[in-house]
Structure 1
Amino acid sequence: MIDRVLSRLPALARSAGARAAPIVPPGNVAGRALLTVIAIMTFLASLTVGAVTLVSDTAAQWQSQIAREVTVQIRPDEGLDMGAALSRVQMVALSTHGILSAEAMDDAATSRLLEPWLGEGLKLDDLPVPRLVIIAINEDDPPDFAALGKAIRDAVPQASLDDHRAWVSRLVSMAHATVWTGIAILALVLVATVLTVVFATRGAMTGNRHIIEVLHFVGARGSFIAAEFQRHFLKLGLIGALAGGAVALCAFYLFGRWTAANQATPEADQISALFGSFSIGWTGYGGVLLLIVLIGVLTAVTSRVTVIRQLAAIDMLSPVEA
Structure 2
Amino acid sequence: MAETATKARVPAARGKRPKGPPLRPTGPIVPVSGVSGNALVVVVAIMAFLACLTLGAVTMIRQSATSWQSEIAREVTIQIKPEEGLDMDKALARARSVVTTFAGVTGASVMGKGATARLLQPWLGSGIDIDELPVPRLVVVTIDERDPPDFQAMRAELNAQVPQARLDDHRAWVDRLTAMANTTVLIGLGVLGLVMTATVLTVIFATRSALSGNRHIVEVLHFVGAETRFVASQFQRHFFRIGLKGGLAGGVLAAGAFFAAGAWQNATMGAAGSAQTTALFGRIAIGPWGYLGIALVVAVVAAVTALTTRLTVMRTIRHIDRARADGNRAEPS
TM bucket normalised to smaller: over 0.9
Instruction: Find out whether 1:169 has 2:175 as its counterpart.
Output: yes
Deviation of 1:321 (Å):
3.5
Q: Return the alpha-carbon distance in structure 2 between the equivalents of residues 252 and 140 of structure 1.
A: 33
Moved more, 272-281 or 45-54: 272-281
Contact 1:38 1:241 in 2 (8 A): yes
Match of 2:31 among 25, 45, 48: 25
Instruction: Find out whether 1:65 has 2:71 as its counterpart.
Output: yes
Mapping of 1:4-19 within 5 angstroms? none
- The residue matched to 1:62 in structure 2 has which SS? helix
CA-based RMSD = 1.3
2:248 paired residue number: 242
Contact 2:204 2:309 in 1 (8 A): yes
Deviation of 1:267 (Å):
2.4
- The residue matched to 1:220 in structure 2 has which SS? coil
- Matched residue count: 305
Contact 2:76 2:168 in 1 (8 A): yes
- The residue matched to 1:140 in structure 2 has which SS? coil
Q: Return the alpha-carbon distance in structure 1 between the equivalents of residues 221 and 101 of structure 2.
A: 86
Contact 1:58 1:274 in 2 (8 A): no
Q: Return the alpha-carbon distance in structure 2 between the equivalents of residues 58 and 274 of structure 1.
A: 10
Moved more, 76-85 or 301-310: 76-85
Mapping of 1:251-290 within 5 angstroms? 251-290=257-296
Per-residue CA deviations over 1:47-94 (Å, capped at 9, x if unaligned) read 111011111111111111111010111111111111111111111111
Deviation of 1:223 (Å):
1.1
Q: Return the alpha-carbon distance in structure 2 between the equivalents of residues 109 and 261 of structure 1.
A: 29
Per-residue CA deviations over 1:82-141 (Å, capped at 9, x if unaligned) read 111111111111122211111111111111111111111000111111111110001122
Q: Structure 1: 5+ residue runs without aligned partners?
A: 1-17
Deviation of 1:171 (Å):
0.8
2:308 paired residue number: 302
Deviation of 1:271 (Å):
2.5
Instruction: Find out whether 1:144 has 2:138 as its counterpart.
Output: no
1:201 paired residue number: 207
User: Percent identity between the aligned chains?
Assistant: 52
Q: Return the alpha-carbon distance in structure 1 between the equivalents of residues 184 and 166 of structure 2.
A: 33
Instruction: Find out whether 1:105 has 2:96 as its counterpart.
Output: no
Matched to 2:277, the amino acid is: I
1:41 paired residue number: 47
Instruction: Find out whether 1:153 has 2:153 as its counterpart.
Output: no
Matched to 1:117, the amino acid is: W
Matched to 1:218, the amino acid is: V
Contact 1:260 1:277 in 2 (8 A): no
Q: Structure 2: 5+ residue runs without aligned partners?
A: 1-23, 329-333
2:56 paired residue number: 50
Q: Return the alpha-carbon distance in structure 2 between the equivalents of residues 293 and 236 of structure 1.
A: 12
- The residue matched to 2:84 in structure 1 has which SS? coil
Instruction: Find out whether 1:133 has 2:114 as its counterpart.
Output: no
- The residue matched to 2:116 in structure 1 has which SS? helix
1:13 paired residue number: none
Contact 2:64 2:283 in 1 (8 A): no
Q: Return the alpha-carbon distance in structure 1 between the equivalents of residues 275 and 216 of structure 2.
A: 63
1:89 paired residue number: 95
Matched to 2:75, the amino acid is: E
Question: Based on CA coordinates, which of the two structures has the bigger radius of gyration?
Answer: 2
Instruction: Find out whether 1:226 has 2:226 as its counterpart.
Output: no
Q: Return the alpha-carbon distance in structure 2 between the equivalents of residues 152 and 20 of structure 1.
A: 87
Relative to structure 1, is the Cα distance of residues 117 and 58 closer, same or farther in structure 2, using a 3 angstrom cutoff?
same
1:8 paired residue number: none
Per-residue CA deviations over 1:267-300 (Å, capped at 9, x if unaligned) read 2223323433211011111111011001001101
Q: Return the alpha-carbon distance in structure 2 between the equivalents of residues 223 and 111 of structure 1.
A: 75
Matched to 1:51, the amino acid is: A
Deviation of 1:19 (Å):
6.7
Q: Return the alpha-carbon distance in structure 1 between the equivalents of residues 241 and 153 of structure 2.
A: 64
Matched to 1:139, the amino acid is: E
Q: Return the alpha-carbon distance in structure 1 between the equivalents of residues 96 and 128 of structure 2.
A: 25
Q: Return the alpha-carbon distance in structure 1 between the equivalents of residues 76 and 281 of structure 2.
A: 22
